[in-house]
Amino acid sequence: MEEEKILYSQPQCSTHLSATEDALYVLGGRWTLRVMIAILGGHNRFNELQRTVDGISARVLSNELKKLEMNHLVERQVLADQKPVLVEYIPTAYSQSLRDVIAALADWGRKHKKKITT
């Protein structure tokens, strides 16, 4: 079976590498995609996120949420009219652009796991 090659010119290759590095800078942390998947899945409160993302500490989750907010992927909403005050992390419209990326990664992960375990 002949392997299909994608041919890029030097400038195209550099552009792809740079764009991939930018994406990994935002999403490449150990917890970042896990937190983003939980938020896109409808888990919006801090404690709920911490329970959903197994193994993440409160400090790390707090830092991840700050980074996601800084990158316009989540919006922090404080519901001060509630007693006690509630804080929710809502996915932004921009974060919806990650849905296909996450779906592709999950699909590849399932296929890869099947390939290496059979």
Could you tell me the CATH number of the domain that includes residue 80? 1.10.10.10
What pTM value is reported for the model?
A: 0.84
Structural domain count of the chain: 1
- Would you tell me how many other CB atoms lie within 10 Å of the CB of residue 64? 22
Rounded Cα gap, residues 114 and 34, in angstroms: 21
- In a domain, residue 45? The reply is yes
On whether the CB atoms of residues 71 and 22 are closer than 8 A, the answer is no
- In a domain, residue 46? The reply is yes
pLDDT in tens, the chain (118 residues): 567 777 788 888 899 899 999 999 999 999 999 999 999 999 999 999 999 999 999 999 999 999 999 999 999 999 999 888 899 999 999 999 999 999 999 999 999 999 999 8
- Would you tell me how many other CB atoms lie within 10 Å of the CB of residue 57? 10
Q: In which domain, by residue range, is 71 found?
A: 32-117
- In a domain, residue 103? The reply is yes
- What does the DSSP 8-state code read for residue 83? S
